[in-house]
Amino acid sequence: MEEKDKPNEEDDQEVNPWKVSAKDGGKIDYDKLIDKFGCQRLDQSLIERVKRLTGRPPHVFLRRGVFFAHRDFNEILDAYERGYKFYLYTGRGPSSESLHLGHLIPFMFTKYLQDAFKVPLVIQLTDDEKCMWKDLSVEESIRLARENAKDIIACGFDISKTFIFSDFNFMCPAFYKNIVRVAKCVTINKAVGIFGFTGEDHIGKISFPPVQAVPSFPSSFPHLFCHKDNLRCLIPCAIDQDPYFRMTRDVAPRIGHRKPSLIESSFFPALQGENGKMSASDPNSAIYVTDSAKDIRNKINKYAFSGGQDSIENHRKYGANLEVDIPIKYLGFFLEDDAELEHIRAEYGAGRMLTGEVKKRLIEVLTELVERHRVARAAVTDETVDAFMAIRSLPYMFD
């Protein structure tokens, strides 16, 4: 059965790979999004299964619902339980020099999945996409892809299990053959329906969705998977990428491939408040991995939207509104200690803790995270990047 957007008369939010906006600048309604996209909620029983199958505590992003939706993730676990491995596929459009914390989330989570399930991983850098959408030159897009690869590698991926590639530099017959196979199954009308292209868009844009689709198929990487073309694929990504993979899943069985499974995250909120993704055009809307300790302190203190009350008296009396408070949201992503987080929420919500104290703790957590990233990235040389991008087999583990 074809997966598609449900018609929705009161469709008051727009979520696609290029735009995330809620009604009246409010919050994204993720329940509605699950319903509209037709994906499944990632419920507690699945999280318990992950815990049991991997023998590890589930990642913070699972425990706290950052990754909240999926498509057929249960089938990946069913097969894994029967002894069948899978591979992970994630990616990034390298549109900017340095990454912000929101960019790190899928990679941090993917690293956890790789370690927990001991599976190979392909990471696609869609420099072609960014060249086409952002009007960057081919050379500049490739340069950004390599710079971003360093930040990605700094997340700690296992080189023996990880292949990183740029579309421009990897393009090859096996990949192109699958692109054509996918493209044959998608009409122009269909692509316009899914992605909202118009006649004024250039043909590069409407040519691109198959390029993001085909890493879902192991036959796109014959060198990598040694022709294990029946290997399952799990894609961790933010839910704005769902349209690409709805299309991919629709096409897959028609060209003799398995549908990839998905595990999808909500968006990391901007410092100014939770109304979509952060904006690259406003450096004060996000914490970047290149920010200094002083930058982080200033940004959090100055811009992080507070749910605290307007006076200390009122705050002591009414407590903070945790639903809109950005420091609490950020701690939910990055403070690993469940007990401490619960304590802060309780104290802050009851007005016994002030915004300044919560921000102070967040500044500590983020400064440590960013500093750890900085050190890891500094150790990534051009030779390391070449090694991750080398065309090779990932010769292990498929038994």
Contact present, 64 and 105 (Cβ < 8 Å): no
Query: In the complex with a second copy, which residue's Cβ is closer, 71 or 130?
Result: 130
Closest CA to 87 of 266, 253, 211, 236: 236
Query: In the complex with a second copy, which residue's Cβ is closer, 170 or 388?
Result: 170
Query: In the complex with a second copy, which residue's Cβ is closer, 62 or 142?
Result: 142
Shortest CB 268 distance to a second copy, Å: 30
Query: In the complex with a second copy, which residue's Cβ is closer, 164 or 186?
Result: 186
Shortest CB 219 distance to a second copy, Å: 11
Query: In the complex with a second copy, which residue's Cβ is closer, 167 or 325?
Result: 167
Cα four-point dihedral sign 141, 143, 147, 152: positive
120-to-47, 197, 215, 249 alpha-carbon distances in Å: 21, 34, 13, 21
DSSP class of residue 23? G
Round to whole Å and give the CA distance between 285 and 169.
Answer: 32
Q: How many CB atoms lie within 10 A of CB 223?
A: 13
Q: How many CB atoms lie within 10 A of CB 392?
A: 11
Shortest CB 179 distance to a second copy, Å: 8
Query: In the complex with a second copy, which residue's Cβ is closer, 123 or 353?
Result: 123
Q: Take residue 380 and report the two structure tokens written for it.
A: 């990534």
Q: How many CB atoms lie within 10 A of CB 192?
A: 14
- Residue length of the chain: 399
**Residues within the interface to a second copy (CB under 8 A):** 128, 131-132, 135, 138, 167-173, 175-177, 180-181, 183-189, 191-192, 197-204, 206-207, 209-210
Q: How many CB atoms lie within 10 A of CB 386?
A: 11
Closest CA to 296 of 212, 361, 213: 361
Query: In the complex with a second copy, which residue's Cβ is closer, 203 or 378?
Result: 203
Phi, psi of 41 (to 5 degrees): -75, 140
Q: How many CB atoms lie within 10 A of CB 324?
A: 15
Query: In the complex with a second copy, which residue's Cβ is closer, 216 or 306?
Result: 216
Shortest CB 168 distance to a second copy, Å: 6
